[in-house]
Amino acid sequence: MGNSRMRVEHDSMGPVEVPDTALYGAQTQRAVNHFQISGRPMPAAFIRALGHVKAACAQANRDLGLLPEKMAEAIIAAADAVSREEHVEHFPVDVFQTGSGTSSNMNANEVIATLASRHLGATVHPNDHVNLGQSSNDVIPTTLHVAAAVALRRQLIPAVLELADCIDERALSLAGLVKTGRTHLMDAMPVRLDQELGAWAQQLRYGAERLEDGFPRLVELAIGGTAVGTGVNAHPELGDRVARILSRRTGVMFVIKPSRFEGMAAQDAAVEMSGQLKTLAVSLMKICNDLRWMNSGPLAGLGEIRLPALQPGSSIMPGKVNPVVPEAVAMICARVMGNDVTIGIAGQSGNFQLNVMLPLMAHDLLESIELLARGIVLLREKAVAGLTVDESRLKAMLERNPILVTALNPVIGYEQGAAIAKRAYAEGRPVLEVALEMTDLDEAELRRLLDPMALTGPSVDSGGREGEV
């Protein structure tokens, strides 16, 4: 804590030395001493949510007549400060700690008790007062749900929809451009750029829908279940009141779980949401890889688009510029997929009434949400919004695409079409020229049949209605 002076604190196990400037007490210090593992404390989003939960519990207990007015106000003020990240340095407990998150719960209880005691001018006890009617076993799952729901609602879902809107805008501006479609990375029938980009936008909108689908279960809270779900030592109305208070504080509508036993024994809602995040990561990686392929070159690759040049791409090759943003976002996606494996393992790691990998699950779920949100903003601002199209290259490649002969199948048959395509490819000539030599069709008819724009099908306007191109 930047000060070598120590003080002695006591808990049920006896005395322990704590840095003199630390707001926390003995139980937090024991966790710091024992769990010097990763050097990674719990995420800031988790600590903010924990402050909200503690403030909501104090307010509910005050309203129920279980906490004196002035003491409750002191606790609420201290918890609010925690929720504003004013004392982050006093939350040093490692992610890899006791599986219930008891150390983090007590860390909050001790910090809030110290601040509240100073404000009140009297002793506020971390267990008897700050933790009144609570257990780590219901507080930590509740905090996980609150932190994730708030981050999704405020950060990730808006970011996904903004990227989808940006792609739609770019698609509309590029609607008249036709390019060679590709399947198996090989030339296929032509598509319009707005169709290709529209597929990306739809992927993202489905991703946002999937996140929304999991919301009804994520906003259910275990608070009020205390140690094993029975609610021992908590007022019967505590949970409902805390959910209502948290709804007002965060703008996200929380409710109490229909079974708090399920809410503490299992973490299926978090596992489900992680699965939706993984699906979103899969969509984003597909989009990033498309962007990288389309940008490849500029001479020996596809070279269809140019992404904004952001930095030199090589320490040895002058003038080289790489697709750094799609690469960075692809790495984020890989991390999210890995986190999903971890969260799945964590979700089944408990016995009977309690999951015992809660801190790890909270850390990885919140990391996935934050990384995706930031990566999506980066992709929108630094790649999609500024990409340009090499129209002449699109046209040149399209004209030499032998697969255009597919449009002649109904007229000349598959076998003759295949022969034309093979010759056109072997001689490096446009299909139109070869077809003029190998069929009885005149040039006007061939141009009509092989018109790339006509082969892309009807257009779709902004209202989703199909019409003629």
- In 134-227, DSSP assigns E strands to 178-183, 186-192, 220-221
Check: CB of residue 161 under 8 Å from CB of residue 205: yes
Check: CB of residue 376 under 8 Å from CB of residue 399: no
- In angstroms, what CA-CA distances link 249 with 51, 80, 244, 458? 11, 10, 9, 49
Place of tokens 């593992």: 37
Rounded to an integer, what distance in angstroms lies between the CA atom of residue 376 and that of residue 66?
Answer: 46
- Give backbone dihedrals phi and psi of 101, rounded to 5 degrees, phi first: 80, 15
Rounded to an integer, what distance in angstroms lies between the CA atom of residue 134 and that of residue 102?
Answer: 11
DSSP result, 302-345: ---EE----S---SSSTT----HHHHHHHHHHHHHHHHHHHHHH
Written as one letter, the residue type at 77 is A
Rounded to an integer, what distance in angstroms lies between the CA atom of residue 77 and that of residue 60?
Answer: 14
What per-residue string of b and e applies to 448-460 under the rule 16 or more CB within 10 Å gives b? ebbebeebbeebb
Going by C-alpha positions, the residue among 344, 394, 29, 46 that lies closest to residue 191 is: 394
Check: CB of residue 37 under 8 Å from CB of residue 52: no
Going by C-alpha positions, the residue among 74, 168, 165, 72 that lies closest to residue 121 is: 74
SS3 label, residue 181: strand
Instruction: Count Cα atoms within 13 angstroms, Cβ side, for 303.
Output: 14
Selecting among 10, 38, 173, 314, the annotated active-site residue is 314
The residues near 357 (Cβ < 8 Å, ≥ 6 apart) are 99, 345, 346, 347, 349, 350
Active site residue 184: yes
Selecting among 184, 315, 392, 462, the annotated active-site residue is 184
Cα pseudo-dihedral 27, 32, 34, 37, rounded to 10: 150
Place of tokens 């395509």: 421
Rounded to an integer, what distance in angstroms lies between the CA atom of residue 287 and that of residue 200?
Answer: 6
Q: Supply the residues annotated as catalytic.
A: 184, 314
